[in-house]
Structure 1
């Protein structure tokens, strides 16, 4: 799954390391902000969640040290200044095709389950993001099942 996460991040427009002129239309920053948002949703920021996010950003964009800290801080700042999810989801909806949006929901689930559990708040955030970017319930649930380390073989679709 982590390889899929890395491919997704590398395939985002502007992933070659160039910074978008305007943060408000940078799909890499929008994706990172949504991942930060879901990571913070339950009020408990687990080291495993933050480590997964930082490792992915390092591998995908070659960010390390101060540069990585600044990118994560930009994403966190965007989250804390936002009043809703639309600012981020509208960017992803404009820049990603349907399959990439489904994959992004899978990535959000991987961040949720990085600590081995899912809170109702995290579930709600992923559901809302999926709705806003046009990912249907069936695909959202399928991606959750793929990411859930405690899943059974019973489909919930």
Structure 2
């Protein structure tokens, strides 16, 4: 259903378009409606430092989302999903859930026992989405002045 395409710097305009279609998320995560090229470059640099794999998600000929994950989180050294975002025009079609299930299968194939995520405490839409998929809150923390909830899902 989806093709995961390595997200590299030469695809920065595609990433920026997907991110900027999600104004509400950008306001929560970045305190601004629209990201600029420097913001995307900063995300790429941080991902490289944290050994995060970054993918653009393609369905047919269209780029519909972004999926970023790492195999060893900075705090707890567990597999973690750092970003799953769907372009605004493709939201409401079940793609986020299907993309997550694709990611979960990938982790199961790698014999991963659990997945962790961090969600902004003010992102109600994301909090509802992740809990509906079986993630359980286990921690709350503040990072760079923002409150995050840490969630985990056991894979069996």
Higher share in helix: 1
Mark yes or no: TM-score above 0.5: no
Task: Compute the TM-score of the two structures, normalised by the length of structure 2.
Answer: 0.38
Higher relative contact order (CA 8 A, sep 6+): 1
Q: Which has the higher strand share?
A: 2
